[in-house]
Amino acid sequence: MIYYDILTTQCGDIAILGNERGIIEVAFQQGKASADINSNVEKVNQFSPGHMSEAKQQLDEYFKGSRENFDLPLAQTGTNFQSSVWSELSKIPFGTTISYGDLANRIKKPAAVRAVGTANGANKLAIIVPCHRVIGANKKLTGYAGGMGIKAKLLMLEGAQFKV
């Protein structure tokens, strides 16, 4: 069973999806990669795994400025390469940005900048796996599934330096 809940934030509605193992998706609903909430997905109820309500609480704390890191069971699936990129994304500190080239170097694949960008874009755990912290080498914002405006808001919330 897949469960979902919606968190309303200053950046718009965010869908949180999870199963018995962990959180599988966190998606801005107005972006180009909104979560697919269909008949196979059930609204959070008293029988939902506890990590669903914990995810909503931790994301709410992030938007209120009282949380910088997340401690949740995650159940995102992908290739070994994608998983290595997502693991490295999770190590980028709050309020810090890096370039796609930096990210490629960190996973010891400096020639794989485009593949790193593709893996970054395939991340389904917005904010929790902070793909929004990856920007261009020139410090300018680059694409984001939730939209460039939301990416800018998230980085401003964290006090990160970037160029528009």
Which residues belong to the active site?
131
Instruction: In whole angstroms, give the CA distance from residue 72 to residue 49.
Output: 12
Instruction: In whole angstroms, give the CA distance from residue 100 to residue 137.
Output: 7
